Structure 1
Amino acid sequence: MKKTLLVTAIAGALGASAAQAATVYNQDGTQLDIYGNLQTAYKSVNNAEGNSEDEIFDNGSTFGVKGQHVINPGLTGYFKAEWEFNADEAKGSDQQDGISRSDQVYMGLQGNFGDARVGSWDTLIDDWVQDPVTNNEFFDVTDSPVSGDDGVNTQNTDTDREGDKIQYMSPVFGGLQFAVGAQYKGDAEAENVDSDGNAAFFGGAKYTMGAFSVAGVYDSLDNYDGEITGDIYDTGPEAGEDFDAGDQYGITAEYTMEQLQVALKYERYESGDDDYLPDENRFGLGSRYGYGYGDVYAAYQYVDLSGGDAWEAVNDDDSRNEIVLGATYNISPAMYTFIEGAWYDREEDENDGIAVGAVYSF
């Protein structure tokens, strides 16, 4: 999922820190904050026919509330709830108005034992493996097809991976931290592709030593195994046959020193049926530098695709190179602008484009 984050704190001539959430209540160990952002941008992106399409659009405006209370000196309860809304459309338009849908919503307990939570939030492989390479304003390098992100926010249909989760994250022991969890889909849920309840396991570990860190994550994707409802290619699975979604895993090494951050990633999606979805290897390199008035950043990713005979019969490309470039400029501690460009090495230059925009955070 896209998250707008300014990696380097607003500094330099501004001499100020980034905008903070507003605390509306803080008494007797209980604290409540509100926060959010307005994001409006312009984009021009090529469609599948190679024609440029442009628009002014909302780039993920969010309103959030978070709170915590001290249960005892070693245990704190907390919650977080975010909602998205469209900042670019007039009231009464055909688009959804106001606060349209929830984003991250979860609650949990944290203390000396670590952190345990339940609800909806970004996947672990997103946070620990993908984001260090690109976590930009609009364009990113692509993720696996099960992640649903094609880099330009036009195929984010599988946000279902973020919900119905439980997770435990350990404290840091000598630089080492681990996380384990599961996404549970009960038999009463409409999005469950199976007739029975199922828990899909995910887990990972991260080690940090000074400015260097390395993280590895595995996701079983078991909730996407199920029965095919339609024929897929001439030699692919037929309607009524079972489909195995496969597995996803990755590893990222990251180095951060003062204003410079560099990350190197290997990510693999191992298909359970490569006549439907191909095996995918992604080798990524990303870097971000804070120049005092904002950030400049770049990312490169090589995508290697290897599908079965049926998949190859209807797909010409088995590999591609992806490049994303961008920069931000800080107007104030709460407001900044950005410009980004991306090249995805696809037929008809699909999804190549530029985007410019502004963000106001509170």
Structure 2
Amino acid sequence: MKKTLIASAVAAATFSGSALAMESASELAARMDSMPQVYGNIQYVVYHADVKGGENGLEHADNGSTIGVKHDHEIAPGITGFFKLELEGLAADDKDRESGLEDVDEAYIGVKGDSFGQLWVGSDDSTYESAIDKIANFYEFAAYNFGGGYETGEGDLIQYQTPSFGGLTLGAAVQINGDLDDASLPDKSGEKSYPYQLAATYAVDNLELAVAMDSNDSAGGDNNENTYGLRATVGLDALSLTGQYQTRKDVGDRYGVIAVYSMGANQFAASYELDVADDANDTERDTITLQALHNLSDHMYVYVEGYLGNGDDGVYGVANESERSALAVGGVYYF
């Protein structure tokens, strides 16, 4: 009888301890799920740049190292709140620099849901940039690639993106520049302005098409003509092909094509970009870019990129010359 009572007591104590451990593990898992995600990267590059007849030289540099934190949570069934804060300006190549992480790359909050899409406010890649400007954002070094001829920046934005309607997604953004803004800051004049962007992207099977515009109505701008952009991307198994075109009256036209081929841990890319200025001489400049990238692991990769630019005489600041080049070798560790 006593043995039975003792055994029962031991079993009860064991069960209670196991239940408590399970409850603690469950609570810990819930807490871990509710914590923000911290991420970041260190990016180094060594490059040699040369302008024919002009400056040339070698530099070891930080290529945009960042650290960030992001989080999301369920506000109600089907509705998620989210935020993201990403800081750059680390200058990981220079330990003697007195400051660091002083630049905000992305900082926004928002809500999203399957039925209404996504609405977010703050600093982020703009609607136009995300839809059209793929080539300049693809490369690692990217010093000589041509960004689009649009002025609406990545700060003070309110952006909205619809859910997909059979492959069609619509987007809109407005930048709020108030008359209390500090006029000494870049792209600020102390005057009210509300530049906006519109975009439509259609994806079906292995094809994606995009069209977008930027009103370029920033206060104090020299030219507020609209920028219009078109892009088409097709995926062919390991090969991806993209063509894009951007135009702005009294500024110019920009054309670009890029091919990206993936082979196991390796990636190879080649692109050609042409910029034709809307001036009396239709001044031209172009850039050919090549990339070879190798993934060492799930958290680290290395790459080599080469750039060769040509154009009309003087486009790179040297009279009677029209060539510039660069060779970049870099490595990235990210988590």
TM-score (ref. length: structure 2): 0.81
- The reply on whether 1:141 has 2:145 as its aligned counterpart is yes
1:295 corresponding residue in structure 2: 267
Which protein has the larger Cα radius of gyration, Structure 1 or Structure 2? 2
- 8 A Cα contact 1:326 1:338, kept in partner: yes
Pair 29,71 (structure 1): closer, same or farther in 2 beyond 3 Å: farther
User: The residue matched to 2:218 in structure 1 has which SS?
Assistant: helix
Q: 1:246-261 maps to which residues of 2 (within 5 A)?
A: 246-261=225-240
Structure with the larger RCO, 1 or 2 (CA within 8 Å, 6+ apart): 1
1:199 corresponding residue in structure 2: 194
Give the fraction of aligned pairs with identical amino acids, expressed as a percent. Answer: 31
User: The residue matched to 2:241 in structure 1 has which SS?
Assistant: strand
Amino acid at match of 2:225: G
Pair 28,331 (structure 1): closer, same or farther in 2 beyond 3 Å: closer
C-alpha deviation, 1:133, in angstroms: 7.0
Amino acid at match of 2:83: F
C-alpha deviation, 1:98, in angstroms: 3.3
- The reply on whether 1:326 has 2:291 as its aligned counterpart is yes
Inter-partner Cα distance in structure 1 for 2:223 and 2:80: 40
Larger helix fraction of residues: 2
User: The residue matched to 1:222 in structure 2 has which SS?
Assistant: coil
C-alpha deviation, 1:181, in angstroms: 1.4
2:117 corresponding residue in structure 1: 114
Q: 1:98-247 maps to which residues of 2 (within 5 A)?
A: 98-111=100-113, 112-131=115-134, 135-139=138-142, 141-144=145-148, 146=150, 161-190=153-182, 191=185, 193-226=188-221, 243-247=222-226
Inter-partner Cα distance in structure 1 for 2:123 and 2:308: 31
Inter-partner Cα distance in structure 1 for 2:206 and 2:324: 35
Match of 2:301 among 333, 336, 339: 336
Of residues 252-261 and 81-90 in structure 1, the stretch that sits farther from structure 2 once superposed is 252-261
1:21 corresponding residue in structure 2: none
- 8 A Cα contact 1:224 1:244, kept in partner: no
- 8 A Cα contact 1:251 1:267, kept in partner: yes
1:59-106 per-position Cα deviation (integer Å, ceiling 9, x unaligned): 00010100001011111000000011111002xx2x454323211111
1:7-36 per-position Cα deviation (integer Å, ceiling 9, x unaligned): xxxxxxxxxxxxxxxxx9854974521111
Gaps of 5+ in 1: 1-23, 148-159, 227-242, 272-278
